[in-house]
Amino acid sequence: MLILDPKMLPRLDELEQDLVERRKRAVAEGWQGEIEGIDLTLTFLRGKRAQAQRFQRSGTVDLGLPHQRPPRHVSRS
């Protein structure tokens, strides 16, 4: 899975605008296969943008250091 750096968000905006323009041309030319491909790419691009924005807002989380649990004593009756 590709993790996107939040610094790349402006580049994603540029890519989306380019794809939207290409889609308009594909619609005007009647290129149905191209339209479907662009729509699929736009869906993935928008998903990656949302993922990067969530990561940007959440930042890092300190999980602390792992530790061993004490052994459980099982009573035998």
72 part of a folded domain: no
- Could you tell me the residue range of the domain that residue 48 belongs to? 6-57
Q: What is the pLDDT of residues 28-59, one digit of tens each?
A: 999 999 999 999 999 999 998 888 887 776 65
Q: What is the pLDDT of residues 66-77, one digit of tens each?
A: 888 888 877 776
Q: Tell me the C-alpha distance between 71 and 77, whole Å.
A: 19
What is the pLDDT, as a whole number, of residue 34? 96
Residue 61 pLDDT greater than 70, yes or no:
no
53 part of a folded domain: yes
What is the pLDDT, as a whole number, of residue 7? 80
Residue 24 pLDDT greater than 80, yes or no:
yes
What is the pLDDT, as a whole number, of residue 60? 64
45 part of a folded domain: yes
